[in-house]
Structure formats: structure tokens, C-alpha cells
Structure 1
């Protein structure tokens, strides 16, 4: 199922961990509208990043998969409201985050520079985006803002 011009549902559901463990990571039909909205937001991010392809590393996660990877129990991934990605033709995850953080038209709830990828999460339906910008640091958790390279 095509969710937007550049994103297919399969990109949001593929998971090596799910395949290894035999987990069915198919989202329920009720989440398809949220996944479509996330894909539309990623289309805007793609435009901001010069139209370069965005490669999803994680999208939707069913509860079983989220538990298997030790994901947050409140992860936006489980609602279809988040994606982790890279955009090698644009630059590093830090460069991507710097470009996205200043965009007022991108209604993100959380933008996290995770080291080797970017996490872009959106607010629950009906909620106002927090526009939280974070950097994940190994061994010390998250810090507010983007760390220097």
C-alpha cells in the first residue's frame, strides 16, 4: 500500500528483528491513517532535505516487536506516529537534525539525533506537538538540544 508519493507501507513495517523472531509486524487497519499522516510529514522532511531519498530504519512497531527490542512502553512507533531514518545524500544524522529543527512547518513532537539515525516523532492525534529536540548520548541517556559534532 502506497502511503504517500515516496513511502510504502512495507517500509514502515519491515524489521529484521521481527523476521528473526517470527513476529507479525502488520499494523491494524485503524493505524493506517496515522501512518499516512506520518508519511506525509516525511514527505515534507524529504523536501527540506533537498528532495534526497529518506531510508527508513524503523517505522511502525507492534507491541511484541517493541518489547523484543526494549523500546519505550510509550513509543510513538507503536501508534504509527514515528520513524527512524537516514538520508545519506543529505548528510549525517546531526546535519539532518539541524536542518529539520528550524523548520516551523514540520510539526514534530520529538526530533532526536540518535548517533547513527534520526528519530522523528509526531504528537498523538489531537495533541499539540512539543517540538522537543534531543541528542542521545551512549551511557548517559538524552540531552536537550543538539550536541556539537
Structure 2
């Protein structure tokens, strides 16, 4: 598959929005996706299309999609982050409701994901690699200034 530098990955998600990063722009990091990453981004966007349909076809705003290694380091991402493989997206859907409401809706659905994380002001959805079984792991992130992010299983009541 040739590398797609512009255009759509799926009906509602583009390569530009899945690779855009203010941090990359600010630091001069090339966050282009190679063909292998683009194949993963297509899978991620296909899952986001399912999420969009689940949420009543409301617009989803991507906060973070693919992050090359340099960008992932710059934002303090995990070295094993699914973002680094084009297999994750952080997003919001204000037309549907809060990130917590979105997580609850996705967790109750049959959408196949590896990780679904309520990150407070956004939702993280990550996919398993093509050869792995999705865990459907649902987590809540906890942020503390100056400390590493911690995660607890499930969503708050």
C-alpha cells in the first residue's frame, strides 16, 4: 500500500487529524506515518467509525492519534504506548456527552478494543495488534502532579 500523506483513512477520519500534534509542530518533529503505521491507523479509524455510530453519528474530535517515538517521548508517553504503533486515539465527543459517559457507552457495547481508558477530560481507545486477542480492558487514569499516572480497573460508579 502506498503511503497516504493526505486524504481520508475512513469516511470520517483523515490521515492529517490522526497524525496532527501541536507538540510535534512546536518541536519540529516529523510525525509522518509510514505504510505499516497507516495500515494500523486504518484499523483504528474503522473502530472510531463504530464508536461514532454508537454515539449517534456525532462528530468525534481527535486529541491524539499516532505518535512517532520522538513525539511520544516529548509528550511523556509510555514506551509501550499503542499510539506509537498507530493503534490508539484520544478523543472527545462533546455532542454526545462527557468522556465518562462515552466510556460507559463503549464499555457496554460489543466494540472490540484492547484498552478503553477514562482519562478525565478525554477518552483513550487502544487496539490490540492484528495477531493478538483484544483484552477489552477498561481502566480509569489517575493523574498526580510530579508523579507517574496510575490506573485502576473499571470506571467510577
Question: Scaled by the length of structure 1, what TM-score is found?
Answer: 0.96
Please report how far the alpha carbon of residue 138 of structure 1 lies from its aligned counterpart in structure 2 after TM superposition. 2.2
Measure, in 2, the Cα distance between the counterparts of 1:103 and 1:49: 11
Partner residue in 1 for 2:114 = 109
Report the counterpart of residue 62 of structure 1 in structure 2: 68
Aligned counterpart for 1:75 among listed residues 67, 78, 81: 81
- Aligned pairs, number: 147
The alpha-carbon deviation at position 45 of structure 1 amounts to 0.3
The answer to whether residue 60 in structure 2 is matched with residue 51 in structure 1 is no
Work out which of the residue numbers 19, 26, 30 in structure 1 matches 2:25. Answer: 19
| Structure with the largest fraction of strand | 1
Give the RMSD, CA atoms, in angstroms.
0.9
Aligned runs of 1:119-134 on 2, under 5 Å?
119-134=124-139
Distance in 2, matches of 1:137 and 1:34, equals 28
Dislocated runs of 4+, deviation >6 Å: none
Shift of 1:24: 0.5
- Structure 1 spans left out of the alignment, 5+ residues: none
Matches of 2:87 and 2:142, distance apart in 1: 23
Query: Structure 2 stretches of 5 or more lacking a match?
Result: 1-6
Partners of 1:39 and 1:119 in 2: CA distance: 13
The whole-number CA distance in structure 2 between the counterparts of 1:22 and 1:31 is 20
CA offsets, 1:78-110, max 9 Å, x none?
Answer: 111000000000000000000000112x11000
Deviation at 1:36, TM superposition (A): 0.7
Supply the distance in 1 between the matched residues of 2:136 and 2:23 (Cα, whole angstroms). Answer: 30
For residues 116 and 38 of structure 2, the distance between their equivalents in structure 1, rounded to whole angstroms, comes to: 22
| Cα distance in 2 for residues equivalent to 1:129 and 1:29 | 23
Give the aligned partner of residue 16 of structure 2: 10
- Alpha-carbon distance in structure 2 between the residues aligned to 1:144 and 1:32: 30
- Counterparts of 2:37 and 2:152 in 1: how far apart (Å)? 30
